[in-house]
Chain A
Amino acid sequence: MNTIHDMGGMHGFGPVEREANEPVFHADWERRVFALTTAVSFAVPFTDDNLRSAIESIPPARYLASTYYELWLEALTKILIGRRVVSERELASGRAEPLSKDIEVLGPVTPADALAALDAGFPARRASGKPARFRLGDAVRARNLNPATHTRLPRYARGRLGHIVADHGVMSFNDANGRGDGEQPQHVYAVRFTMRELWGPEASARDHLTLDLWDDHLDPA
């Protein structure tokens, strides 16, 4: 979706400000939001694509006015309300009501199982999928796609010419997964663009930018 999260190439946000000796979390509630999001995804399964999609759906003005973990909290709450696992009434009262019998959930993840799962990770690679349409060195053009749903193709690359510099193999397709259309596994390629192709003649002639794009993001050029 074409909204504020897709901010590569925008002006006006000011200088990058680094915090010296920054803590991992800035408040206890940030710790709890991070941990809750991670832990509840075992009992009420959702993916990173679902979380990202929910974050991107937050209206732009509020997105920019929110801190990072406020965005997570809002997105997580929206997902859980969407699954009818919690309600606004419960959040306002702080009191749990009985879970409806027709809602499928799993039990709470144990500390040991949570840590083991995080250590194993959640690989995106799949054993098989759509055959590769491109090879190393091929010239490709990023498609001019403007879906109102989740996509990992940033606006600044759409319609731009690049070259395949690596084939990362077959992976689950986040765009499809994020809109609930299944994984549609396919090849992901590192596509290198010149800075001039992306940003025009004022950009450095020497510099490049690489994006990892799925087969369905690309056309032959």
Chain B
Amino acid sequence: MSGDDHDHHHRAGWSDVELRVRALESILVEKGLVDPAALDAIVETYETKIGPRNGARVIARAWVDPAYKARLLSDATAAIREQGYGGSQGEQMIVLENTGAVHNVVVCTLCSCYPWPVLGLPPVWYKSAPYRSRVVMDPRGVLRELGLELAESTEVRVWDSNAELRYLVLPRRPTGTEGLSEDRLAALVTRDGMIGVAAV
């Protein structure tokens, strides 16, 4: 290590993991394997363009347009692409409709599989050991802890996205929202509702 680098590292007060990431990036850039502008573009896309507001727009459209909802339930990948969303980690989409009789909830026990084009990158709790370990065995208990109490008569369906299918829950449209515009409806839809750990 050169003296310059050594001083620079200490001046910046970087942690070991930060140092290692900086080193990896500069090595890959210097070897011509990574363009820093591509890194910035990828980060910007997932921080500002791809996130749960995309999914919320899909849900709101399904609530106001029965023909769209039918397409969404029969070929989710194509119907989501109609709205302008698709691609990595959303290549094979399935939409699960919540009804009075059935409540759907999604997990990836083996890692962190999640429908990026409509929900963005997954939150920490979704990738965490408590959620992954428990929701497959005790979904009602986990949902209750998260504030969603289900009637005993409701069937719970857990979907472990262990393969390359990616799942989006279509929550029930809240009552009393008949007069709302599609934009207003989209604002009611939450990320957690589209994972199935909240009602909407």
Interface residues of A (CB under 8 A from B): 5-11, 13-19, 22, 24-29, 31-36, 38-40, 43-44, 52, 55, 64, 68, 70, 73, 76-77, 80, 85-86, 90-96, 99, 105, 107-115, 117-125, 152-154, 156, 168, 171-172, 174, 188, 190, 198-199, 203-204, 206-214
Q: If A24-B46, A35-B43 touch, does A85 touch B33 (CB 8 Å cutoff)?
A: yes
Q: If A15-B130, A25-B47, A35-B42 touch, does A206 touch B124 (CB 8 Å cutoff)?
A: no
Q: How far is the CB of A123 from chain B (nearest CB, A)?
A: 4
Beyond A18-B125, A52-B110: 11 further Cβ-contacts under 8 Å?
A: A39-B34, A73-B24, A90-B23, A91-B23, A94-B27, A112-B41, A119-B86, A174-B163, A190-B165, A209-B158, A209-B160
| Bound-state Cα–Cα, A52 to B33, Å | 21
> B70 within 8 Å of A by Cβ?
no
Q: If A70-B17, A85-B33, A114-B42 touch, does A212 touch B133 (CB 8 Å cutoff)?
A: no
- Give 16 pairs: A residue, B residue, CB < 8 Å, sorted on A: A8-B110, A8-B136, A13-B128, A15-B130, A32-B21, A35-B39, A55-B111, A91-B27, A92-B23, A93-B1, A94-B26, A109-B38, A111-B35, A114-B41, A125-B92, A211-B163
> B171 within 8 Å of A by Cβ?
no
Query: Could you tell me if B156 and A118 are in contact, using CB atoms closer than 8 angstroms?
Result: no
Number of B interface residues in the complex (CB < 8 A): 80
Which among B61-69, B137-145, B172-180, B181-189 touches the partner chain? B137-145
Q: Total number of A-B contacts with CB less than 8 angstroms?
A: 269
Q: How far is the CB of B58 from chain A (nearest CB, A)?
A: 16
Q: How far is the CB of A36 from chain B (nearest CB, A)?
A: 6
Query: Could you tell me if A119 and B162 are in contact, using CB atoms closer than 8 angstroms?
Result: no
Interface residues of B (CB under 8 A from A): 1-2, 5, 17-28, 30-35, 37-43, 45-47, 51, 86-92, 107, 109-112, 120-121, 123-125, 127-137, 139-140, 142, 145-146, 152-165, 192
Q: How far is the CB of A161 from chain B (nearest CB, A)?
A: 16
Query: Could you tell me if B133 and A13 are in contact, using CB atoms closer than 8 angstroms?
Result: yes
Query: Could you tell me if A16 and B87 are in contact, using CB atoms closer than 8 angstroms?
Result: no
Query: Could you tell me if B157 and A109 are in contact, using CB atoms closer than 8 angstroms?
Result: no
Q: Which of chain A's residues have a CB closer than 8 A to the CB of B145? A: 15-16
Query: Could you tell me if B38 and A31 are in contact, using CB atoms closer than 8 angstroms?
Result: no
Candidates A39, A55, A121, A204; contact of B42 at CB < 8 Å: A39
Q: Which of chain B's residues have a CB closer than 8 A to the CB of A5? A: 110-111
Query: Could you tell me if A77 and B24 are in contact, using CB atoms closer than 8 angstroms?
Result: yes
Query: Could you tell me if A9 and B137 are in contact, using CB atoms closer than 8 angstroms?
Result: yes
Q: How far is the CB of B90 from chain A (nearest CB, A)?
A: 7
| Bound-state Cα–Cα, A153 to B123, Å | 24
Q: Which of chain A's residues have a CB closer than 8 A to the CB of B2? A: 95
Candidates B30, B87, B137; contact of A118 at CB < 8 Å: B87
Query: Could you tell me if B110 and A154 are in contact, using CB atoms closer than 8 angstroms?
Result: yes
Question: Of all chain A residues, which has the CB nearest B163?
Answer: A212
Q: If A85-B31, A86-B24 touch, does A22 touch B123 (CB 8 Å cutoff)?
A: yes
Query: Could you tell me if B133 and A11 are in contact, using CB atoms closer than 8 angstroms?
Result: yes
Query: Could you tell me if A34 and B92 are in contact, using CB atoms closer than 8 angstroms?
Result: no
Q: Which of chain B's residues have a CB closer than 8 A to the CB of A15? A: 130, 145
Query: Could you tell me if A36 and B34 are in contact, using CB atoms closer than 8 angstroms?
Result: yes
